[in-house]
């Protein structure tokens, strides 16, 4: 019995039934639960089903959080942030727009990155400045990726990013301001023990003196000429009341009364001027 080899071809296999492909082992099949969730009204039943979905996807959220370990934040805190992102993804997901995993991964990742951007700065920095910092950082890396590339100037970075030079300057300052410096830190250019705190100024009592003098000017101008002369001799020439009395030909007691009365008038007028200024 002869067999025609030209016709002995393997029969075409029937097309395999489509299978749902899962990118990761921790991506559970919750399509039916999401479909049911979208039909339920607010209430205990919907809340329970929502909690089931969140619990099922929690291992994936923890895995994503693990990618950001060793960046200055504890893994436990990162997992809490990732769980928050997962809850947001579950609440906002529309089952008709595709697989939940493709929506949840960027949502959770974005929540973690936002956490680093908003919470890991030693000082609160406006979001706009943080975004400028990231653009400048990426531009500097791209402009210096070739060996021997010079350090890019502000103009180079502005041209590369489309930012203004002023915005680039703000981004460069932010690059150096991610963490704070202790006031006890020694300055590299200073002597031993010379710290940043040593460069800070302190209260200057001379400002109070200037304010007092300015406040007293009007009151002094309003005094009679003899009383102004007495105050000048007493407080600027440092003369005793007896010497002033001898020069003016009056008693020392009279000089004392004139000084007290003049000072009181100047003080009252100065205090009234300050109250009027505050009002």
pLDDT higher than threshold 80 for residue 80: yes
Structure pTM? 0.42
Number of domains in the chain: 3
In a domain, 12, yes or no: no
**Do 138 and 153 have their domain in common?**
yes
Q: Out of 56, 86, 119, pick the residue that ends a domain.
A: 119
**Do 115 and 154 have their domain in common?**
no
* Residue 118's pLDDT band (cuts 50, 70, 90): low
Residue 118: how many CB atoms within 10 A of its CB? 12
pLDDT digits (tens, 9 = 90+) for 176-192: 665 666 666 666 655 55
Q: Out of 119, 154, 180, pick the residue that ends a domain.
A: 119
CATH code at position 69 = 1.10.1740.10
User: What whole-number percentage of the chain has pLDDT above 70?
Assistant: 75
Locus of tokens 């893994």: 75
**Do 80 and 61 have their domain in common?**
yes
Of 9-18, 71-80, 86-95, 119-128, the range with the highest mean pLDDT is 86-95
In a domain, 210, yes or no: yes
pLDDT of residue 18: 42
**Do 43 and 89 have their domain in common?**
yes
pLDDT of residue 162: 92
Q: What is the DSSP string of 107-134?
A: HHHHHHHHHHHHHS-SS---HHHHHHHH
In a domain, 269, yes or no: yes
Q: Out of 143, 169, 199, pick the residue that ends a domain.
A: 199
Cα separations in angstroms, 118 against 108, 125, 131, 182: 15, 8, 11, 21
In a domain, 98, yes or no: yes
pLDDT digits (tens, 9 = 90+) for 28-45: 888 889 888 888 889 999
pLDDT digits (tens, 9 = 90+) for 158-175: 999 999 999 998 888 877
In a domain, 66, yes or no: yes
Q: Please, what is the angle between helix 154-161 and helix 127-143, to 10°?
A: 100
Question: Could you tell me if 110 and 85 are in contact, meaning their C-beta atoms sit under 8 angstroms apart?
Answer: yes
Domain of residue 272 covers 206-278
CATH code at position 269 = 1.10.10.10
b or e along 219-243 (b: 16 or more beta carbons within 10 Å of the residue's beta carbon)? bbeebeeebeebbebbeeeebebee
Question: Could you tell me if 126 and 177 are in contact, meaning their C-beta atoms sit under 8 angstroms apart?
Answer: no
pLDDT higher than threshold 90 for residue 214: no
Exposure of 39 in the CB half-sphere (CA atoms within 13 A): 6
Q: What is the DSSP string of 246-270?
A: HHHTS-HHHHHHHHHHHHHHHHHHH
């Amino acid at each position: 019995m002869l067999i025609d080899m030209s016709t002995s071809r393997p029969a075409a296999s029937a097309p395999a039934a489509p299978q749902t492909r899962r990118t990761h082992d921790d991506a559970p099949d919750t399509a039916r639960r999401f479909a049911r969730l979208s039909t339920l009204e607010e209430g205990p039943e919907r809340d329970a089903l929502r909690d089931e979905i969140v619990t099922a996807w929690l291992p994936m959220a923890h895995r994503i959080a693990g990618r950001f370990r060793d960046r200055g934040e504890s893994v436990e805190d990162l997992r809490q942030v990732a769980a928050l992102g997962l809850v947001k993804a579950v609440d906002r997901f529309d089952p008709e727009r595709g697989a939940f995993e493709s929506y949840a991964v960027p949502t959770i990742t974005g929540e973690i990155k936002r956490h680093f951007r908003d919470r890991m700065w030693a000082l609160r920095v406006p979001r706009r400045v943080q975004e400028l910092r990231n653009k400048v950082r990426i531009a500097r890396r791209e402009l210096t990726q070739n060996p021997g590339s010079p350090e890019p100037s502000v103009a180079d970075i502005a041209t590369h990013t489309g930012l203004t030079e002023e915005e680039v300057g703000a981004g460069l300052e932010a690059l150096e301001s991610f963490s704070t410096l202790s006031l006890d830190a020694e300055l590299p250019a200073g002597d031993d023990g010379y710290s940043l705190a040593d460069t800070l100024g302190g209260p200057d009592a001379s400002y109070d003196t200037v304010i007092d003098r300015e406040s007293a000017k009007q009151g002094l101008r309003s005094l009679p000429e003899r009383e102004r002369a007495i105050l000048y001799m007493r407080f600027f020439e440092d003369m005793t009341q007896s010497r002033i009395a001898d020069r003016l030909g009056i008693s020392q007691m009279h000089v004392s009364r004139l000084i007290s009365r003049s000072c009181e008038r100047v003080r009252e007028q100065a205090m009234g001027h300050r109250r009027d200024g505050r009002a």
